[in-house]
Amino acid sequence: MPKRHSLKMLKSLFVLMFITCSLVCTSSYGYAQEKEEGGETRDFTREAQVALVEAQEFYSNNEYAKARTPLLEYLATEPEEVPVVLYQILATCWYLDGNYEEAQKVYAEGYSAYPKSEEILYNYAAVSYELEEYIKSAQLFEELYDVKVEKDLEILYQAAVCYYTAEELEEAVRVFDKMIDLSEKPESSWFETIISIYMEEGNNDKAEEYILKALDVFPLMRKYWQFLAGIRLEESNYRGAASALEIGYTIEPPEERNQWTNLLDLYTYLRVPLRTAKSLETLMEENAATEEDYIRIAQAYADTFRVDKAVSFLDSVISKNSSKDLLFEKARILYDARRNKEAIKALDECLAVDPDNGYAHILKGFAAWDMEDWKKMKEAFTMAQNFSKYKVQAKEALAVVEDLERARSE
């Protein structure tokens, strides 16, 4: 949300107090003085003094319409030179009565007479914003920045917000970019706004350019690594996206599990199982891992021929949670590695917990076959026939064994 601007009315009141004091001190001379930019003073006439003092009396009683009368009557005389404070007070009276259009007109006149007045410029920009004239407001804020002796990047920020609100996005980028160049410590939000503008426009090259600039300033801010990963995903640069996410999540692990899932899916696509295991182990450290994650870790080790590591890992988890799925995964990994004796033992442990696992009976039968342990093999396939899904496979395996035994006896 853009910041709302407010007229600097309090400062105007202090100016009025200054004028009143000046009248007391200088009445014998018939004029008072007000400061100009640069510290110099400007004289203004007794007529202007009288109008200001009369207006101030009504102003102090919140009678803004009456306060305007002496000021407007003075302006009707078409004086050669109008004090800047008079424009300020008259505009403030209109503003406080809710008539922003008239306030803006007065500030426009004051701006024509005093184009370097910081107060006039600020309030002219602010009331233009209230009237939703965002481009005019932005331009005035930029002028104000140039006028101010003590540069304030907040003024340029107001200009950028106005351009953004007006959907003049290139102008908004130009001002934010200027702020970045001028600042020793630019704000992260400036980069984010530019990046979001370019991403919305589909200009990935420019978006990535500013992401990399942001990373030069904020290398330990995870969101920029995520932005970079998003850009690279759109460009089908999956390895680059995975690298960016990995760095970001190393700096600051994400709180939401689905963010980890994105990285894990990239690792799976890139076929880098050890990276998958490493990321899942980070989830374990944060107590956010699930049983499915444990299985994926073991699979990752097994896929890289680290069977002992996979089994050791599962044993450590099973010691705390003797799940049937974890027990079966351990047996399956040993079976795939053709470590048949260990596989049969693990399958027996699995079947002790889950006797209705027909697939475990089938695997046990084939492991026994590989070891030529025909007795154990027949027992396993006979049990597997009790499960409709494996009945035909078990029956065919038993028929082959019977043929082998017959041939052997003959």
Q: pLDDT (tens digit, 9 = 90+) per residue, 246-276?
A: 888 788 877 666 666 776 676 665 665 666 6
- Are the CB atoms for 162 and 134 separated by under 8 Å? yes
* Integer angstrom CA distances of residue 270 from 8, 263, 266, 278: 60, 11, 6, 15
* High-pLDDT (> 70) share of the chain, %: 80
For residues 341-360, average pLDDT: 92
Each residue of 57-82: pLDDT tens digit?
Answer: 888 888 889 988 889 988 888 888 88
Report which of 54, 132, 145, 66 is spatially closest to residue 100, judged by C-alpha positions. Answer: 132
SS3 call for 255: coil
CA–CA dist 98, 65 (Å, integer): 11
DSSP H or E stretch at residue 336: helix 324-336
For residues 146-171, average pLDDT: 92
Count CB atoms within 10 A of the CB of residue 252. Answer: 12
Q: Please give the model's pTM, rounded to 2 decimal places.
A: 0.61
Each residue of 301-342: pLDDT tens digit?
Answer: 787 778 898 888 888 888 888 789 999 999 999 999 899 999
Count CB atoms within 10 A of the CB of residue 277. Answer: 24
- Are the CB atoms for 140 and 125 separated by under 8 Å? yes
CA–CA dist 72, 88 (Å, integer): 13
CA–CA dist 294, 321 (Å, integer): 11
- Are the CB atoms for 86 and 54 separated by under 8 Å? no
* High-pLDDT (> 90) share of the chain, %: 39
Quickly count helices (H) and strands (E) in the chain.
22, 2
CA–CA dist 318, 305 (Å, integer): 21
CA–CA dist 26, 13 (Å, integer): 20
For residues 113-119, average pLDDT: 91
| Residue 343 confidence (pLDDT) above 60 | yes
Phi, psi of 159 (to 5 degrees): -65, -45
Model confidence at 187, in pLDDT bands (50, 70, 90)? very high
Mean residue pLDDT across the chain: 81
CA–CA dist 385, 398 (Å, integer): 10
| Residue 18 confidence (pLDDT) above 50 | no
Model confidence at 4, in pLDDT bands (50, 70, 90)? very low
For residues 216-237, average pLDDT: 90
- Are the CB atoms for 274 and 300 separated by under 8 Å? yes
CA–CA dist 376, 368 (Å, integer): 6
Which is more confident, 294 or 17? Answer: 294
For residues 109-129, average pLDDT: 92
> What is the total residue count of the chain?
410
Most confident of the following: 193-202, 249-258, 281-290: 193-202
**Residues 6+ positions from 329 with CB-CB distance below 8 Å:** 295, 298, 299, 314
For residues 164-188, average pLDDT: 93
Q: Output the six-digit token pair for 56.
A: 């101030």
* Integer angstrom CA distances of residue 333 from 43, 292, 298: 95, 15, 8
Model confidence at 363, in pLDDT bands (50, 70, 90)? very high
CA–CA dist 241, 226 (Å, integer): 8
CA–CA dist 22, 50 (Å, integer): 12
CATH architecture of 1-131: Alpha Horseshoe (1.25)
| Residue 42 confidence (pLDDT) above 70 | no
Which is more confident, 159 or 74? Answer: 159
pLDDT at residue number 21: 30
Model confidence at 32, in pLDDT bands (50, 70, 90)? very low
Q: Output the six-digit token pair for 332.
A: 């399956």
SS3 call for 227: helix
Model confidence at 374, in pLDDT bands (50, 70, 90)? confident
* Integer angstrom CA distances of residue 274 from 80, 225, 279, 285, 398: 83, 21, 9, 17, 40
* Integer angstrom CA distances of residue 233 from 73, 165, 226, 237, 262: 68, 30, 10, 6, 11
What are the structural domain ranges in the chain?
1-131
Q: Is the dihedral of CA 28, 29, 34, 38 positive or negative?
A: negative
pLDDT at residue number 11: 33
- Are the CB atoms for 132 and 5 separated by under 8 Å? no
CA–CA dist 329, 101 (Å, integer): 76
pLDDT at residue number 109: 93
